[in-house]
Structure 1
Amino acid sequence: LEPFQGQFILEINPDIGFAMIDRLFGGLGTADFSSRPFTDIEKVVFKKIINWILGAFPEAWENILRVRPLLRDIESNPQFTQIVPGNDMVILITLVSKIGSSEGLINICIPYIMIEPIVDRLNAQQWFAKTRLEQTTRHINILRNRIKRTSLDLYAELGSAELTVSELLYLQPGDVIRLDRKSSDYADIRIGNRVKFKGVPGQHNKHLAIKIIEAIEPETIDPGEDGELTDE
């Protein structure tokens, strides 16, 4: 972690590591291969994942110091990962990560002796004081642009139907399920669990598409008689 002298450890739970690789290879992130080591191809892919994670470090440290993390090696045997004597102090940052049905920890271990030269800059008062000074229009615009580039999944819901288990078991190809809407009704277009638009399904350039007809105004939240918030 330049310009610091020394090394730190980024430890990723094998369940999370294999889930990341499985997702990149087109899987659902549910594969369980944690009982075996990485193959050579998986190591190459995993190095790219780690470099992508390390790419977030400069932004996280920018209020304190300009840093440049470098990946030295990937090691699966903890006996070969000792970077300081066992009685030295370290800073341990633990993150809970979940990918699909796989869940595990990502640990960042930084030796105290490594960051000791700048430890006086890590007090909360200086951190927040500098953060407030940097809330300029430029930073707000950067944040706004990043939010605009965020990808969201949209779902078009044509309708729904309730079936008993018996009816579900006897479904056959060619059966028709009657939905709770008419063919002339608009479809709900959802972002997450919220209906944001109404639209009409169709085709565009030989692809299935949906035309947005109207936008749904967000719900207003007003205080009730007893002071509690209620949705209207």
Structure 2
Amino acid sequence: MTDPARSAAADGRRVWLVLAAAGVMLVVLLGLGTWQVQRLAWKEALIARVDARVAQPPVALADLAARLGEPQALDYTPVRLAGRFLHEREMYVLATEAGQSGWHVYTPLVLDRAAPFGDTVIVNRGFVPYDRRDPATRPGSQPEGTVAIEGLARSAPRGKPGALVPDNAPADGTYYWKEWPAMVRAAALDPADTVPFFVDAGPGGAAALPVGGVTRIAFPNSHLQYAITWYGLALALVAVVFVWLRGSRAGRG
């Protein structure tokens, strides 16, 4: 026969083990939910900051000197500049716009008024369809002489955005991510005299290629859904444990 006292003790140990495990899981789930709430506040502040920044009037490149070490303070700042494009040194970053594959055309611009941190800047002039990469297929797309540009400052990535992104091929001007050092070398520029960030040109008034204004100012913000999910799982865990405890007590009764 089963010893009732021993059986009760075993049941008690099992209950405490379940409660301990459930307690650890509950702390983890609540922690994850709280972390997502904190991330939500950070993301909303970032979106508000960028929205306010892009609405500001453009500044000269020289005015960004104090922000060079702060990518978050530099990114998406409207800028104005003028200079002469080195079209023979065009580079191409694979891109997709409105579901169409193509290239963003990056071209060095020799500034007519050098900034304290460089006299040349690499400009993302905009999008061309995949089969219009060759300038010969888009006549009039390479303006001569001094051009004036308004656009957005964009900090250079610190590294490849992901392991699945292919390696760049600077030898033929093909890039899969904006690798500033490699682009500077391929364009035969002096890093010390090159502005250490990119400029995305704004939309132009004409329909000619490249089509400017391609900067994507969109930040995924699913933190609220994630927080609800983690808190919901925590609540479900409490409910399951409660039902289990009631059933366990009823079985002993």
TM-score bucket (shorter structure): under 0.3
Q: Kindly indicate whether structure 1 or structure 2 has the higher relative contact order, using CA contacts under 8 Å at least 6 residues apart.
A: 2
Compare CA radii of gyration and give the structure with the larger one.
2
Higher helix share: 2
- TM-score scaled by structure 1? 0.22
